[in-house]
């Protein structure tokens, strides 16, 4: 099944429950998600547009950059017990042509520069032409 992640999909075909759940999650972000969102929002990070708490099929993705096809997941301790769920989720997301990178909450909170560097490297790998234009501009 295909779950296009686009502006058109936002206007039609998005389950009302998914939109409500995403809205709820945006209001109740973890401290790690808030910290990372401050770095990613409003094209602050390498001029890439990130969205937060986006619905894709039955899942809500933490952060998504549509132009690069990148999904960033920030996981808390509960994810250690739900590895099968996370693996199924990652497989579905990757089947849609997106790349997923995951960070633990403590990584985002304690190693923020390293997390941002990993995101930067991933973005450059996914958009080599776009990244070179951004470097010059």
Quick: pLDDT tens for 11-56: 444 456 767 766 677 778 899 999 999 999 999 999 999 999 998 8
- Is residue 96, in this structure, part of any structural domain at all? yes
Question: Which of helix, strand or coil describes residue 72?
Answer: strand
Decide if 26 is inside a domain.
Answer: yes
Residue 109 domain-assigned (yes or no)? yes
Please check whether residue 1 lies inside any domain of the structure. Answer: no
**Structural contact between residues 107 and 76, judged by C-beta atoms closer than 8 angstroms:** no
Structure tokens at 4: 């296009």
Q: What's the predicted TM-score (pTM) here?
A: 0.79
Region of 46 on the Ramachandran plot (φ > 0 left; ψ -120 to 50 alpha; else beta): left
User: Cβ atoms within 10 A of the Cβ of 94, count?
Assistant: 13
For residue 89, what are the contacts with CB-CB under 8 A and spacing of at least 6? 59
CATH of the domain at 117: 3.40.960.10
Is 12 inside any structural domain?
Answer: yes
Residue 33 lies in a domain: yes
Q: Is 108 exposed, middle or buried (0-12, 13-18, 19+ CB in 10 A)?
A: buried
Domain annotation covers residue 45? yes
Length of the chain: 137
* Enclosing domain of residue 125: 7-136
Give the chain's mean pLDDT: 83
């Amino acid at each position: 099944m295909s779950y296009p992640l686009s502006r058109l999909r936002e206007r039609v075909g998005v389950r009302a429950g998914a939109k409500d759940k995403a809205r709820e999650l945006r209001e109740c972000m973890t401290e790690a998600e808030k910290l990372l969102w401050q770095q990613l929002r409003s094209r602050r990070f390498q001029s890439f547009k990130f969205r937060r708490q986006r619905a894709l099929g039955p899942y809500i993705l933490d952060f998504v950059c549509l132009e690069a096809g990148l999904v960033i997941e920030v996981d808390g301790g509960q994810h250690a017990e739900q590895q099968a769920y996370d693996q199924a989720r990652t497989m579905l997301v990757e089947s849609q042509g997106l790349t997923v990178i995951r960070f633990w909450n403590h990584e985002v909170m304690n190693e923020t520069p390293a997390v941002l560097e990993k995101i930067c490297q991933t973005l450059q790998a996914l958009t080599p032409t776009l990244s070179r234009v951004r470097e010059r501009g």
